[in-house]
Structure 1
Amino acid sequence: MATLSRFSTSTVFGSERLVPWLAAQGPLAYTPEEPPARDYFFQYSWILPGIFDPRINLREHRYFGSALKSSARFLFDFWGDIRRRNGAALPQYSQLGVFSDVEVKAPMAAYHHVRKLYGTAGSVLIQHGSYQWISHQDQPNIERGQVVLYRGIAESTAFRCLQFHPDELSPANREIWRKYLGVQADMLSDSVLSFNTIHDRVKRSETEGLRHGTWLGDAMATQAGLDIESAGFGNDLWRAAQQSYSLDPVIGARKLPRSATCG
């Protein structure tokens, strides 16, 4: 059982909207336009204890979830620059999430930030306590809400992506689609749950101490009545959703022997 936060971590705004911040209301609803006054709210082991492995001492300092404060230096620089400008952030893109019986859209926000170590201009992407910086050179179209995704395809000669029109599904598959959307909406409706399901298939040194490698999403899907094990539409949906991509061309185009690029 995950330790509960003392603050609200619900990301639901209104009846069908989702914010990209840690919460829609309360102390964790801070944004680059209204930044927190203290670094206390970056101390995830205190404000988001539910994202950590139960063996972690929650009295430790885990800024932005990292065991080493130096690993999160660019985020302290990012928020520090914003504070010095009195909340005058440089937004590039922002989208509220949407959830209903017919669609789910994930929330996302992007802000301009120059990495001090390299003096390189780029974007900080924000979603429910997770951050990623990517250079403008590698992702030049973020302001238009567009990114290029990279994925390794091992020894395959082609990459196939599941595509369909929901209104053309059979009644049985439409019900599977409805359940799938419900699971995705549940994942995105709480920042702790969102954070944990994002990391549930990852198990790396960078995520040590987090609730990684839990396969929590699979458990949620099964509990919702989705058959993600047997051959069929439910399995196809889940496999497609769990494929991982990179925003960094170094990972997709140089590190892996074969890769696919999705615009």
Structure 2
Amino acid sequence: MTLPFVKMHAHGDDFIIIDRRGLDDPITPEVARRLGDRHTGIGFNQLAVVLDCEDAAARIKFWNPNGTPLATCGSATRGVADRLMHETGADSVVLRTDRGLLTCVREAGRRVSVDMGAPSLDWAAVPLAEAMDTRTLPIEGRPAACSMGNPHCTFFVQDIAAVDVAALGPALEIHPLFPAKTNVHFVQVLDRGHIRLRIWERGGGVPLGSGSCCCGAVVNGIRRGLLDATVQVQCDGGTVTVHWDGQGGVVLTGSVAPVMQGSAYAFEC
């Protein structure tokens, strides 16, 4: 069986989109792993499967390259929105994910914004293993935590160049405090409107960028009193803008770009 796909990226955060509107959904953990392998498959940070939906333009299911599902992906949501807005000629579109209904809007300069919804700040919603103040966790480095539909743990450091993300990330991802594992961020605050961010992504490793991680890092920085409401987030692959007023949804804005399209074997021949 072959599956047509489009590959895109957002500030280096690469993802593939498989449009199954009007069709069945053949993606299983094994198929996601096969497609996600960068040596024997296509390779991606996330896979977005576009499905029919009664109360939105489409429903999106997300997969990590290790075959685990995830509730949200800011980059791939914007990529799907970009394609559907091109398809219809509209300047906005509403998509359903496990986070709920997300509104996406066309911005200037081939940028797309998405309201990712309000962050979850309570310990049980992150989730954490026990009750505590999520602004300061009892882990060396005193990180903060929140959820954007998936868990985020943010360390604020003086010199991000001195942090070995690939060495520290795997152990922190599976720390006992995080029963569902966690994304891990390392943030250097350059000023109140500008941060440098590096990421260990749950189920994925070290990406060039991540939309939901950018959102989680900014939310945690604002909660710590370190950042203003609008922040430029400089990732390894480029820069996005995150806005949060401390009450409502977190708005992520940045460019998306197509990389390639083709057909992939979903199963071994």
How does the TM-score come out when normalised to structure 1?
0.28
How does the TM-score come out when normalised to structure 2?
0.27
Higher strand share: 2
Higher helix share: 1
